[in-house]
Structure 1
Amino acid sequence: MSHGPAAAPVPHPSRAATPDVEGVVERDGVRIAYAVHERAGAPTVVLVPTWAIVPSRFWKAQVGYLARHFRVVTFDGRGSGASSRPEGAAAYTDTEYAADVLAVLDATGTDAAVLVSLSCGAAWAVHVAARHPSRVLGLVAIAPSCGMNVPTPGRDHVPWDEPLDSTQGWATYNKHYWLGGGYDDFVEFFFGRMFSEPHSTKQVEDCVAWAHEITPQVLVDSTAGRLGCDGAVCESIEPLARAVRCPVLVVHGSDDRVRPLAFGERLAELTRGELVVLDGAGHGPPARDPVRVNHLIREFTERVAPTPRPASRRTWTHAAHRTPRVLYLSSPIGLGHAQRDVAIAAALREARPDVQVDWLAQHPVTRVLAQHGERVHPASAWLRNESGHIEHEAGEHDLHAFGAVRRMDEILVNNFMVFADVVADGEYDLVVGDEAWDVDHHLHENPELKRFSFAWLTDFVGWLPMPDGGAREAALTADYNAEMIEQRARFARVRDRSVFVGSLGDVVDVPFGPGLPSIRSWTADNYDFAGYVTGFDAGAAAAGAADVRASLGVRDDERLCVVTVGGSGVGAPLLRRVLDAVPAARAMVPDLRFVVVAGPRIDPASLPVPDGATVLGYVPDLYRLSAACDVAVVQGGLTTCMELTALRKPFVYVPLRHHFEQTYHVRARLDRYGAGRHLPYADALDPDGLAEAVAKEAAREVAYRPVETDGAARAAAMLAGLV
């Protein structure tokens, strides 16, 4: 057995956790890739591979959370991920997989660990625990599926290694069908069975994609090895299970359509273990019910492998003497949420001076909070940055917002688990979530975790498909909307207040999807309306405009064009396009000066600076600069556009391509206010065309609908009664 060189990997912006070490151990010519998340002094949890059809990435919803509490080891099983794909069934027997577990334990310097398995992995964990008891602290077997004499009605009568006439249902689980061109059909069928719960489109999509990282022959070999076909030797794990002496937790869904609950019951019986039934769950609880699974793994590990803790002190305060506490969550995708949320928090303190507000927040929100002297909860350091993921997803002024949020699932699970740890002690009276998608979704999925009042804020309702997404995207957005509608109908108590930042007329009047209600009518029935929250006093901002212009060196006989793209790095291409158009714009409007704001996540030094332009980095209270301008060019984000609308400034806005919110929700609201000049990005690619749009808008006399000035106070009044 040999070890490959260990390396410290580069963080991935869309992953919930970055391992401290990645390496390879080679055993009998087979290379097994592993990763280690170190945590000094903590017990080790090994997330055991499952069937070769998916790699260790299947555990993505567990790794981030568990790695904050334990030392975590993951590895790709032979036949999957970055590990070798040996040939022949004999290479994939249970004993080979069990030997790989031991090899990884040795390679990572792990004396003993809690082994967590899913499906087939339970057999391999049982092998290790029975034959090497000193290496196993405990077993968590989720949806165990192999090696036991338990019937599976509807599946047992279908032979795996004989040609079949049928290609329906479990007949697709067939060696000859896979090799004969039916692999794709089987994969779709199998994962549809695995995730029996409604609204599991993302979990199915992930697994189907992973299944296509291997060949049908690899799946044939790995299945034959497990079943004892094609020359492999298969043994029942029942005698081994009886020999297990470590603590065992079996977790099984009552609606498991791959292997019935009887499998879990049998393994728990044989090992004298504890059985937790997830009523209504299917065969993939780690992906479909990650919050519950994460908590079960943590509770079990702490029970079977307690670590010494230093002496601690806790104080319980009588209810009559408690300071009302609010935990505020502000979406980090841009800076607009931060600006309005600081204003709402200030208004809440005016209404309730005794309130203490803590913030669970990420960059760039934390930069705004620091500016205003707000208290950021130290657990914020555990959050994975959503803005980084969004920037990773973006192309040239192109962000498929719906798809980006879907693909942010593991980050959202990680961040919800951070939130759940923070509120577990019950010290918060109110949680305010401004588009905190992770908290709203997972609280509805796990309503028993709600121990506080919860207020939800948003400035749009409803996922909408982009035209070029076709029928598939229309179906996915409708499914997400339907899930939200069902959650709200079933668990209305989760949100004590749903606050729309705007007025009913700002809500788009289109259906959530086929057979679903109108977004506007449903929102009218389910939300309170605060009016828009600008977060600043437009009159005071206008009064200070002359000082801002002077600080920038803008003369009285010059006109100022401000260019800004918000708090993320997505807008860098638009800034470059505007800078390319500066000469043409100044040729049309000679007295026009440009000030370009790169924001907190774009390096100003990376941008060209033509004559007549100034490039700035992060600008606190950007609205002051907006108040000083004569015209502006912005992305299609709601906050900046509404800020300019409130200040009654002409502006050109260029929505991100494929960004459904900017394309539909924001544009509909701006049309209602009669504000701004919409410019598709394709038209902004031509410097002369962009310059012409800026010149025309600079000459425009605005006549916008007035923007509300009391939105923050109205929103705060809705929150005050919940504290």
Structure 2
Amino acid sequence: MRARTADTEGYVERDGVKIHYETYGDGWPTLLLMPAWTIVNKRFWKAQIPYLARHHRVVTYDGPGNGRSDRPVEPAAYSQEAQVAYARAVLDATGTDQAVLVALSKGANWTLDLAANHSDRVLGSVLIGPSVDYADPGSPRLRYTDRTGLGPSRVPFVEADPLEHWAKYHRDQWTTDLDDFLWFFFGQCFPEPHSTKQIEDAVGWGRETSGAVLVADSLADRPDRKTLDEWCARITSPVLLLHGDEDRVSPVKRSETIAERTGGELVTLRGAGHIPLARDPVAVNLRIHEFAARLAPRQQRNRQWSRWAGRPRKVLYLSSPIGLGHARRDVAIAAALRERHPGVEVDWLAQHPVTRVLEAAGERVHPASRWLVSESAHIEDEAGEHDLHCFEALRRMDEILVANFMVFHDVVRDGEYDLVVGDEAWDVDHFLHENPELKRYAYAWLTDFVGNLPMPDADAREALVTADYNAEMIEHIARFPRVRDRAVFVGNPGDVVDASFGPGLPGIREWTAEHYSFAGYVTGFDPAALPDREALRAELGFGPDERVCVVTVGGSGVGGHLLGRVVTAFEPAARLVPGLRMVVVTGPRIDPAAFGRRPGLDVRAFVPDLYRLLAASDLAIVQGGLSTCMELTALGRPFLYVPLRHHFEQQFHVTHRLRQYGAGRRLAYADLNPDALAAAIAAEIGRETAYRPVETDGAAEAAALLADLL
């Protein structure tokens, strides 16, 4: 799922070549995100568009040869003159008189041309890793060779790499084995550790072009140094250059030369490679926005500042929207925190369906929440029939996580918060460790599992990538332990799986014990405070002779197939269980009308205090999410749980914890035919349980771990 879709789109045409463009937002100034080498398309700006479009108007387009533009194989279509003409045509078609141009790599050639020769259209330029005909012959890191026949300014290789590797930068390679070249080239573009997702993305975009297109592009003219010097001397608009000092494709000397000749500002990104806009999107986003904002007319902005003694204690709380259990426990923790700090103000940066729980509890949702991109919708898009490859879904959520972190950043920049609490707020935790200089508040991280685990049917790639993600997290904590002022595990040491993070990495249980505090489980309610069970059943409208089976699949909306199978088993189950009443809770993101109604079958959309319904039940059938399973465990109710296929948390972490408590009966989705499910319902309904007790003071313990951070 994309983090943001275009407000408008269209095509321009020049000399028979159609170019596709998109526009986003309506702020000022307009940013024209330029194409780069035709080996990628405009999707490489995916981490920039959502944030920049909240502050500016953004226009972007596919250059010829990739994306939704045409793929000519004539060199003239890729010439300097043609590329500048495409940019001007897009400006005209989108009604853009002037724009800030933002370009990566080869796109700097067209940007400098526009800034020098069409200055009336250019307010300023941001050049990222410009690949132009400026080079440093004496560079110890990067030298150039004509071994492949493309000319001395085209074929870089890093001396640490074998010559035969950079020999892949060749027309014959592009037309005979493009895929091999793509993996090599983008590996060079991303020398930063843990860049597997960025490399995979770029290879995917490269597969959308062809070797013939790359050959045609390589034969097109490019400006030489003398021309570049003339252009730089004429540029009067501001120039910002961003360049990684580990760039293996284009040496930093190029940006130094452009900065010297234009009077521009150079920001050297230490440790970054050729495409920092993908690998370090937060740093790049902020610098582009700051540059563009300096060009905008000053507007009146009224702000306030409070002396320390006059400031209320303020907390910004983030609760994962993937499942409603997070919201219930977080509301309980916030209430316990208020008991320790009366008067503390709690704002929630939250998404649907979490907002349903917060609104029912009378909590205050920050207005910036409307800018958050739905993580639940993404998860639903990723799910198949009771199948969710959770780890891959999280990886493919990268542009959404960037977009949502940028919303968070804007909120905390102006919010004067003393404490940020992130309950599995993956975006905040990752990007704060990637940008620790942005942290200006106490920060607490909450989770109920630690460690990504590959599935049993995983191939070598999945096992490698899973371990790589774990290694990055471990390195984050080791390098910047001050980012997490408190890490709270919602559970006990024995609830942590006894597994490894991966080859050569520590054990998950041992590492977690060293780096986390344990709060015990947080149910969000006290079972002892519930009414007598018979009284509760009467209050909820259940007769004394009814056998109540509650079916619920959480709030993310991926459980529709499981609900369908359970509903199909209702009639055979009713024949085995006299007085069976099945209450199906679809959650706020599944349409109840899809399951129909019949005597004994009660379908409901959303139940705010679901635990009360669970407490009154004789049996529950659930998807396998930890929160609902642990609520049932605390209530001592029998239940069947069906973990999502390929969902490593439900398959491993949740299953391990339930075994610790001796709770629930696990079923495989593949075995859920109507007769088998009916038999399981008949066997389990009303069964006496002897689960290990679940602590009732988890919210208070978690609040105690957070309280001193205020």
Residue equivalent to 1:407:
396
- Once the two structures are superposed, residues 364-383 of structure 1 have per-residue CA deviations (whole angstroms, 9 ceiling, x without a partner) of 01110000110111111111
Q: CA 1:544/1:420 → structure 2, altered by over 3 Å: closer, same or farther? A: farther
2:119 is the alignment partner of 1:133: yes
Q: Which amino acid aligns with 1:397?
A: H
Q: Is the 8 A contact 2:80 2:222 kept in 1?
A: no
Equivalent residue, structure 2, for 1:5: none
Contact kept, 8 Å, 2:109 with 2:222, in 1: the verdict is: no
What does residue 3 of structure 1 align with? none
Question: Distance between the aligned counterparts of 2:690 and 2:240, measured in 1?
Answer: 67
1:563 aligns with 2:570: no
Per the alignment, residue 693 of structure 1 pairs with 680
Please report how far the alpha carbon of residue 549 of structure 1 lies from its aligned counterpart in structure 2 after TM superposition: 3.3
- Counterparts in 2 of 1:384-399, with a 5 A limit? 384-399=373-388
Cα deviation for residue 38 of structure 1 reads: 3.0
Matched, 1:252 2:243: yes
Aligned equivalents of 2:210, 2:519: Cα separation in 1: 55
Corresponding letter in the other structure for 2:234: A
Give the superposition deviation at 1:154.
4.1
Output the CA distance in 1 between the equivalents of 2:374 and 2:304: 33
List per-residue Cα deviations over 1:189-237 (Å, max 9, x = no partner): 1000000100000000000111111111111112222569xxxx99843
Per the TM alignment, residue 156 of structure 1 is displaced from its structure 2 partner at its CA by 2.8
Deviations 1:608-637 (A, max 9, x none): 334421100111110010001000100010
Q: In the TM superposition, what are the counterparts of 1:212-611 in structure 2 within 5 Å?
A: 212-226=207-221, 236-303=227-294, 305-309=295-299, 311-425=300-414, 427-541=416-530, 543=531, 545-546=533-534, 549-550=537-538, 553-611=541-599
- TM-aligned CA deviation for residue 147 of structure 1: 3.0
Q: Which residue of 1 aligns with 2:158?
A: none
Task: Give the TM-score normalised by structure 2.
Answer: 0.96
1:306 counterpart letter in structure 2: A
SS at match of 1:474: helix
In the alignment, structure 1 residue 706 sits paired with structure 2 residue 701? no
Q: Secondary structure at the match of 2:32?
A: strand
Instruction: Verify the 8 A CA contact 2:618 2:686 in the aligned structure 1.
Output: no
Q: What CA deviation, in whole Å up to 9, does each residue of 1:142-182 have, x standing for no partner?
A: 000123354473443433449x9x98221000001221x23
Which residue in 2 is equivalent to 1:177? 173
1:617-656 map, 5 Å: 617-656=605-644
Q: 1:226 to 1:556 in 2, by over 3 A?
A: farther
Higher alpha-carbon deviation: 521-530 or 23-32: 23-32
Q: Partner of 1:121 in structure 2?
A: 107
Taking the aligned partners of 2:169 and 2:368, their CA distance within structure 1 comes to 46
Gap change, CA 1:234 and 1:211, over 3 Å in 2: farther
Give the whole-Å Cα distance in 2 for the aligned partners of 1:248 and 1:36.
23
Preserved contact between residue 93 and residue 234 of structure 1 (Cα < 8 Å): no
Q: What SS does the corresponding residue of 2:188 show, helix, strand or coil? A: helix
CA–CA distance in structure 2, aligned partners of residues 608 and 499 of structure 1? 43
Does residue 203 (structure 1) correspond to residue 206 (structure 2)? The answer is no
Shift of 1:242: 2.3
Native 8 Å contact 1:172 1:182 kept in 2? no
Bigger mean CA offset, 661-670 vs 75-84: 75-84
Give the paired residue count: 698
1:87 lines up with 2:70 in the alignment = no
Tell whether the 8 Å contact from 1:248 to 1:273 is kept in structure 2 after alignment.
yes
List alignment gaps of at least 5 residues for structure 1. 1-13
Deviation digits for residues 459-500 of structure 1 (CA, Å, limit 9, x no counterpart): 000000012221111111100000000000000000000000
> SS at the partner of 1:237?
helix
Secondary structure at the aligned position of 2:130 is classed as: coil
SS in 2 for 1:523: helix
Structure 1 equivalent of residue 189 of structure 2: 194
Q: Supply the AA of the counterpart residue of 1:486.
A: E
Task: Specify the code of the residue in structure 1 equivalent to 2:506.
Answer: P
- Partner residue, 2:159: none
Are the equivalent residues in 1 in contact too, given 2:17–2:77 (CA < 8 A)?
no
CA positional deviation for 1:308? 4.3
Query: What is the correspondence of 1:28-107 to structure 2 with a 5 Å cutoff?
Result: 28-40=15-27, 42-107=28-93
CA deviation map 1:272-293 (0-9, x unaligned):
2111100110001100010010
CA contact (8 A) 1:636 1:654 kept: yes
CA distance in 2, matches of 1:696, 1:213: 55
Contact 1:53 1:219 in 2 (8 A): yes
Letter in 1 for 2:489: F
CA drift of 1:32 comes to 0.7
* Structure 2 alignment gaps of length 5 or more: 156-161
Q: Which residue of 2 aligns with 1:25?
A: 12
The residue type paired with residue 13 of structure 2 is E
State the one-letter code of the partner of 1:380.
Answer: S
Q: Does residue 111 in structure 1 map to residue 97 in structure 2?
A: yes
Q: Distance in 2 between matches of 1:160 and 1:665?
A: 55
* Paired residue type of 2:84: A
SS at match of 2:241: strand
Supply the distance in 2 between the matched residues of 1:539 and 1:552 (Cα, whole angstroms).
18
Tell me if the contact between 1:504 and 1:529 (Cα under 8 Å) persists in the aligned partners: yes
Distance 1:647 1:315 in 2: 48
Superposed CA deviations along residues 512-549 of structure 1, whole A, max 9, x for unmatched, are 000000000000000000000000111223x2644553
Contact kept in structure 2, 1:225 and 1:234, CA below 8 Å: no
- TM-score of the superposition, structure 1-length normalised? 0.94
Q: Deviation per CA, 1:665-718, whole angstroms, max 9, x where unpaired? A: 00000001000000011011x111111112112153211000011000000001
Shifted more, 418-427 versus 339-348: the winner is 418-427
Letter in 2 for 1:703: A
How many percent identity over aligned positions? Answer: 61
Contact kept, 8 Å, 1:56 with 1:75, in 2: the verdict is yes
How many Å separate the matches in 1 of 2:199 and 2:648?
A: 24
Contact 1:635 1:654 in 2 (8 A): yes
Counterpart contact for 1:434–1:456, Cα < 8 Å: yes
User: 661, 679, 690: which one pairs with 1:673?
Assistant: 661
Q: Cα RMSD over matched residues?
A: 1.7
> Which digits, 9 at most, give the CA deviation of each residue in 1:321-345, with x for residues without a partner?
2100000000001101000000000
Give the secondary structure class of the aligned counterpart of 1:302: helix
